[in-house]
Amino acid sequence: MKKAASVSDYRELAKARLPHFLFEYLDGGSYDEVTLAANVDDLRAVKLRQRVLRDVSELDLTTELFGQTWSLPVGLGPVGLSGMYARRGEVQAAKAAHAAGVPFSLSSLSVCSVREIARELQAPFWMQLYVIRDRGFVTDLLDQAKEARCSALLLTVDLPVAGSRYRDSRSGLSGGSRLRRACQGLLRPSWAWDVGLRGRPHSLGNLEPVLGKNSGMEDYFGWIGANFDPRITWNDVAWVRENWDGPLIIKGILEPDDAREAAANGVDGIVVSNHGGRQLDGVSSSVRALPSVAEAVAGRMPVLVDGGVRSGLDVIRMLALGADFVLLGRAWAYALGSRGGEGVAHVLKLIEAEMRVAMALTGCTEVRKIGPEILDRR
C-alpha cells in the first residue's frame, strides 16, 4: 500500500479503497462546488512572513479551550456516516483523537451511537446536534449526551434545509438502488470485508429510536429531508441553552451580525463554517469570512473554524487570521477511510509536525502568540 505523507495522499488512498458512492459523499459539495474549491484555494493563497534568527528551539503547541488543555489547537470536527469509512469508524477516530490529546466531535448522523462511543472511549467527547422537527428526539439526544459526559455541544445551524449535492445523485447514494451500492461495495474487497461484513450493524446509531435497527441509506436521506426544521430561529438556540449546562458552540456562522447575535444569546463559542461547501454554493470560503467574524466577537468568546484545512500550515493560517481553534473534517475522514484509526492518528502527527515547521519559520514559539503580524500583506 502506498505510504501517505500528506492529507492529499490520504485522499487518493480513500478514493481507491472506498466504494464510489461513499467517497463521493465524503469528497463532494453542493451544486457546482464553487465554495468547496474556494475553501481550499483561498486558504492556500494566504501568505506568511518568514522571520529569521529567532530562538525557536522550544515550541509550545498546547491550547486552552473551554477549561481544558489540548495538545494542539486542533480537533476532529463532526463528519456524518464516518462509521461507514472504517469498521466502527467513529470509535476508531475518537480513540485516535483521545490518544493525541485533541477533542473528537461525534456527528448526530453517525453509525456509532453516543452510548457506543462513551462505552468504548471511557472519556469525554464533543457532541454535534441538529435542531429537528421532533423536539422529543432532540431532548432524548441531549439526555444521552449528558449521560455520556460529553464536554461540549456543537449546535449546527446552517442546515434548515439540505443543499443539493449532485454527486450523491450521480453516484447512487441518494435515489439509487441498494443493489447498485452493493455492487460498488463488492468492487472494493478490502472495504467490503472490513466494513461491509465485520463492521455491522450499519444502522444510524443515534437515529435508531425513530428509524429502527434496520435503517439504510434510503431511510437516512428520507429522514433528513423530512426532519430538518426550516422554522429554526434564535429561540431554539435559547431552548437548547436552557437544556444544556456545558459549553454550547454554534456551528455555521459566516456573518459578523450572526456572530454578535450568538454572543447575545449566551453561547460559549462559534464555528466559522460553510458546512464544508455542502450547503449554499457561492457563499464565502471560511477563511475569507473568518477575520470579520472574529473581530465582531473579539474577546467575548472563542472562535473556531473549519473548511479547507489540509495541513498544519493551514492551521497556522487560520490562527493568524483570528481563529482560536481549528476543526478538521475531510482531512481526518480521508485518513479514516484509507487506514482507519491508525490513519487518523498519523494525520494528527502530520498536522503537528507541519505546525512546528511553520511556527519555527515565522518566529512563533507559542500558539497563543500567533497573530496577524505573521501574515504577508504585500
Average pLDDT over residues 345-358: 98
The least confident of 63-67, 137-141, 153-157 is 137-141
Residue 220: pLDDT band (50, 70, 90) is low
**Residue in the block written with cell 490562527:** 319
Average pLDDT over residues 4-13: 97
* pLDDT over 80 at 244, yes or no: yes
Element (H, E) at 9: helix 7-17
Per-residue confidence (pLDDT) for residue 330, from 0 to 100: 98
pLDDT above 70 as % of the chain: 96
Average pLDDT over residues 51-78: 97
| Helices 7-17 + 20-27 axis angle, to 10 | 150
| Helices 178-186 + 20-27 axis angle, to 10 | 100
Fold of 7-374: TIM Barrel (3.20.20)
Residue 172: pLDDT band (50, 70, 90) is confident
Q: Where are the domains of the chain?
A: 7-374
- Could you read off the pLDDT of 295-343 as tens digits, one per residue? 999 989 999 999 999 999 999 999 999 999 999 999 999 999 999 999 9
- Could you read off the pLDDT of 74-90 as tens digits, one per residue? 999 999 999 999 999 99
Ranges of beta strands (E only) in 210-340 are 248-253, 269-272, 303-305, 325-328
Q: Which residue has the higher pLDDT, 220 or 33?
A: 33
Task: Compute the 3-state secondary structure of the chain and give helix, strand, coil in percent, each to the nearest 5.
Answer: 50, 10, 40
Per-residue confidence (pLDDT) for residue 76, from 0 to 100: 98
pLDDT above 90 as % of the chain: 79
State how far the Cα of 273 lies from the Cα of 283, in Å rounded to an integer.
10
Which one from 20, 98, 202, 275 is the annotated catalytic residue?
Answer: 275
Question: What's the predicted TM-score (pTM) here?
Answer: 0.95
State how far the Cα of 169 lies from the Cα of 174, in Å rounded to an integer.
5
* pLDDT over 60 at 215, yes or no: no
Cell numbers standing for residue 45: 493563497
Q: Does the CA dihedral 133-137-139-141 come out positive or negative?
A: negative
275 is a catalytic site residue:
yes
Q: How many residues does the chain have?
A: 378
Contact 233, 137 (CB under 8 A): no
Per-residue confidence (pLDDT) for residue 177, from 0 to 100: 81
Q: Which residue has the higher pLDDT, 197 or 96?
A: 96
State how far the Cα of 183 lies from the Cα of 171, in Å rounded to an integer.
12
Q: How many CA atoms lie within 13 A of 285 on its CB side?
A: 19
Q: Cβ–Cβ contacts within 10 Å for residue 305, how many? A: 29
- Could you read off the pLDDT of 278-296 as tens digits, one per residue? 999 999 999 999 999 999 9
- Could you read off the pLDDT of 16-56 as tens digits, one per residue? 999 999 999 999 999 999 999 999 999 999 999 999 999 99
Contact 240, 266 (CB under 8 A): no
Contact 258, 283 (CB under 8 A): no
